[in-house]
Structure 1
């Protein structure tokens, strides 16, 4: 094992943090962006959605490109595109300019993100050391969204909204400088691109992401929503048929054949759906109802990061001893409890009593659920397919977040409409937030049920999954 593995992991994690941050860092800066560029409410939503649409739609193609062309090469290309797009976005003087830059950021993220986890898999041999590395990676993914809100509030208050984009430039440059020095190129897999699979997966994923995003703005009955969802319903099954017949598919369907990995993928989808609402609704609630400044609103999420980071080592040790299933059940149960707590919030609750306890429980839930889910999702995957497995995992995270947010926002709107007539703005918002958190509670509870019924257990003391052996079942948690 090279002595460079520690610094190499640091570079990969910093890049992943940058990509995850950009999903949430603009949230608190949106009002300032709208005032500066004259954005409408619909345009404000697309500052987030343009990034998510490009990111989610191109992830599978980005993962396959890394397998064929070399993961370090795709990683560097994606980081370069993302860095340039961030600079352009920070310089925007018109709304269309900002939205185009955000979409280009999503393209760069889709190229770089699948290679982050795949590079970790290639650097660390399967076993405890890889599990610890993935634990660090997962902590960044779990805490990155909350950290994005904190950083967004700080930069918006201290400097301006432009710095939520400019901050990526020096980070991206450092990653571009140090990656060639610390990380070797992975072997390029012989083959060619599955153009039919790439086209149907990209269009299908893009249609699904666009459909659920449009539903949150215009409702599930809107023509654009119905057409997009119908296109996804057609294209994604076609993609599966194409992949089953292709000699060199974008994603081998065997990735979904193992009970553990398939269950982990579905659990990731549900967990993301339950988590995204907390960050989205609560950031708005504390600013409108508690009258927090952007800086105060960002800092109120600090307890999540403060809990997740120190718990990482505890979770990895517990994973080695007990396996993933009990940890996932426990973590998803904590997220269920946190969402249930927040569903009882009201204008008189206050931060210390109404919000802080839920954030602490939520942070523990992230650590205990996301780390073992990530480990199980990539364990036993042959090296030549690690990029594809990583891109599937990332795609499900994006789709889970988008789908979950669309459903929660729809429920939120119904809650506002069902509020008593004559309610003031605070009570209207509270009514919607209560419904939204109740729906998020259902997502998290479904994760608990799935883990109990689908994920197989492992006896105490059983070692971490080892490398897949030829001719053996590659499902890491099977007896």
Structure 2
């Protein structure tokens, strides 16, 4: 099947929808795997003998591999074919999930989690690139991205509920083994459903040194950020590793500007939509972290909710985010534009964070937390709008790269949110504990500071969003850009 088959061909819409379902299932599996593990951490520590420090690496090993390889995977998808990259990534992720489920000690589980991150990066990096080449009409593309965002919203909260159920009713192993049937089904359906694309060939961007620089720089940067909560921002370890990571990234950018066949052609950043949407996303995701993680911690550590009760309490938010992204986002974007839709969503999230700055120690779910679950529906406008804006400014031959870049900034934003908001909350809590404040009140005060900071991050994202163009267009080629090679899988009109 070609990437741009005529819409009048019988069965074309069904084939595209099947492909979208396959791509969304991978997004669901990736998001699910990121949140399902958190609920089972105490059980993993007890049954596998993790130390307190080692336990955090069940999450960090996945994040470092995933975030560090997204950009490279996205570009390789453009070069060797996005379908091939997607299938290989899913196969690696599924095999690593089985290995994690069979682990009998910390070392094997951490190795499997790192491998899961590698597979997730390979598959996830090209998903948006495939979607934008399948759905070329703006209205259809907006709907398709909304569906993909819907599965991500569902996966974030479903992971907490499902993790609690599987751990309590079966065993911790099943939080990983559940990926086996999903992964096998995704691969089986993806082979006939996804369009065949040959890529432009490694000769168009086989920059080995650039690949080493960007992968090591991103991995080291994420490794540094996830260690901030333990070591602090001003520790020699943090400053030294952070400086080295920054030097590697700067070296990568310089090389891309000078090498003949760059791994990441910098032309993709000439699009204002791509550049601004990625930066705005980092601030937005950093701010949204306060809801996804800190509200869950507040419910458990202050209000005494169980993991399962916490997941169920947050389920209305997931349902609303999913409903808004699926049924409202695309229609609203078509009516008032992507930028206005994005700003409206950010305003709702900002209001939710402000509301959280006043939650008491003895909060009532109905009066204190349910309003937040309603306001957080703004995420159903923000995530699809950012994805559409971040992809709309990329050329067709850069779609995989733009997809990988967009997913990379997501992970950087989330990691930054973890480091900043958790550190602020912990420092404020410790300060109040030292002055004799009871633990619940001290924790709540720390969370209040984190929620206020989150509101500031969301406000920054809104300010940046004002710089976005009303009608994004792909960056025009310059005389120094290589010509786009003809794609044999596209009709002459589309190529």
Cα contact 2:273–2:392 (8 A) shared by 1: no
After superposition, what is the alpha-carbon deviation per residue over 1:327-383, rounded to whole angstroms, capped at 9, x for unaligned? 111111111111121122222112222222112211x21111111110011114222
Q: Which residue of 2 aligns with 1:321?
A: 335
Q: Which residue of 2 aligns with 1:398?
A: 411
Structure-2 separation of matches of 1:135 and 1:246: 37
Structure-1 separation of matches of 2:355 and 2:473: 40
Alignment of 1:242-261 (within 5 A): 242-261=255-274
| CA deviation after TM superposition for structure 1 residue 467, in Å | 7.7
Cα contact 2:48–2:106 (8 A) shared by 1: yes
Q: Which residue of 1 aligns with 2:111?
A: 100
**Which deviates more, 237-246 or 144-153?**
144-153
Structure-1 separation of matches of 2:365 and 2:414: 25
Match of 1:348 among 362, 376, 383: 362
After superposition, what is the alpha-carbon deviation per residue over 1:252-276, rounded to whole angstroms, capped at 9, x for unaligned? 2111112222111111111110112
Structure-2 separation of matches of 1:19 and 1:293: 24
The number of residues matched between the two structures is 464
2:73 aligned with 1:62: yes
Structure-1 separation of matches of 2:107 and 2:201: 40
Cα contact 2:150–2:323 (8 A) shared by 1: no
Q: Which residue of 2 aligns with 1:455?
A: 468
| CA deviation after TM superposition for structure 1 residue 469, in Å | 7.8
**Matched residue SS, 1:419:** helix
Structure-1 separation of matches of 2:430 and 2:215: 36
Q: Which residue of 1 aligns with 2:33?
A: 22
Cα contact 1:86–1:101 (8 A) shared by 2: yes
Q: Which residue of 2 aligns with 1:462?
A: none
Structure-2 separation of matches of 1:225 and 1:176: 40
Alignment of 1:121-136 (within 5 A): 121-136=132-147
Identify if the C-alpha distance between structure 1 residues 469 and 262 changes in structure 2 by more than 3 Å, giving closer, same or farther: closer
Match of 1:290 among 268, 291, 303: 303
**Which deviates more, 157-166 or 294-303?**
157-166
Mark the runs of 5 or more structure 1 residues left unpaired by the alignment.
459-464, 473-479
**Matched residue SS, 1:248:** coil
Cα contact 1:152–1:298 (8 A) shared by 2: no
| CA deviation after TM superposition for structure 1 residue 155, in Å | 2.0
Match of 1:233 among 224, 246, 251: 246
| CA deviation after TM superposition for structure 1 residue 471, in Å | 8.2
Q: Which residue of 2 aligns with 1:476?
A: none
Cα contact 2:89–2:122 (8 A) shared by 1: yes
Cα contact 1:156–1:295 (8 A) shared by 2: no
Match of 1:300 among 295, 313, 317: 313
Structure-1 separation of matches of 2:358 and 2:44: 32
Identify if the C-alpha distance between structure 1 residues 9 and 207 changes in structure 2 by more than 3 Å, giving closer, same or farther: same
Cα contact 2:274–2:393 (8 A) shared by 1: no
Cα contact 1:61–1:202 (8 A) shared by 2: yes
Cα contact 1:156–1:294 (8 A) shared by 2: no
2:236 aligned with 1:223: yes
| CA deviation after TM superposition for structure 1 residue 38, in Å | 2.1
Structure-2 separation of matches of 1:246 and 1:13: 36
Match of 1:267 among 272, 277, 280: 280
| CA deviation after TM superposition for structure 1 residue 114, in Å | 1.0
Alignment of 1:157-168 (within 5 A): 157-168=168-179
Q: Which residue of 2 aligns with 1:200?
A: 213
2:156 aligned with 1:145: yes
Q: Which residue of 2 aligns with 1:439?
A: 453
CA RMSD of the aligned region, Å?
A: 1.9
Structure-1 separation of matches of 2:136 and 2:74: 20
**Which deviates more, 214-223 or 98-107?**
214-223
Q: Which residue of 2 aligns with 1:6?
A: 17
Structure-1 separation of matches of 2:462 and 2:474: 28
Mark the runs of 5 or more structure 2 residues left unpaired by the alignment.
1-6, 480-495
2:123 aligned with 1:112: yes
Cα contact 2:348–2:375 (8 A) shared by 1: yes
Cα contact 2:156–2:318 (8 A) shared by 1: no
| CA deviation after TM superposition for structure 1 residue 468, in Å | 7.8
Structure-2 separation of matches of 1:310 and 1:376: 20
Match of 2:443 among 408, 429, 434: 429
After superposition, what is the alpha-carbon deviation per residue over 1:380-405, rounded to whole angstroms, capped at 9, x for unaligned? 42221100000000000001100111
Cα contact 2:273–2:393 (8 A) shared by 1: no
Match of 1:360 among 345, 351, 374: 374
| CA deviation after TM superposition for structure 1 residue 470, in Å | 7.3
Q: Please, what TM-score do these two structures have when normalized by structure 2?
A: 0.90
Cα contact 1:153–1:296 (8 A) shared by 2: no
Structure-2 separation of matches of 1:125 and 1:360: 33
**Which deviates more, 276-285 or 322-331?**
276-285
Structure-2 separation of matches of 1:197 and 1:111: 18
Structure-2 separation of matches of 1:466 and 1:180: 32
Q: Which residue of 2 aligns with 1:90?
A: 101
Structure-2 separation of matches of 1:218 and 1:70: 41
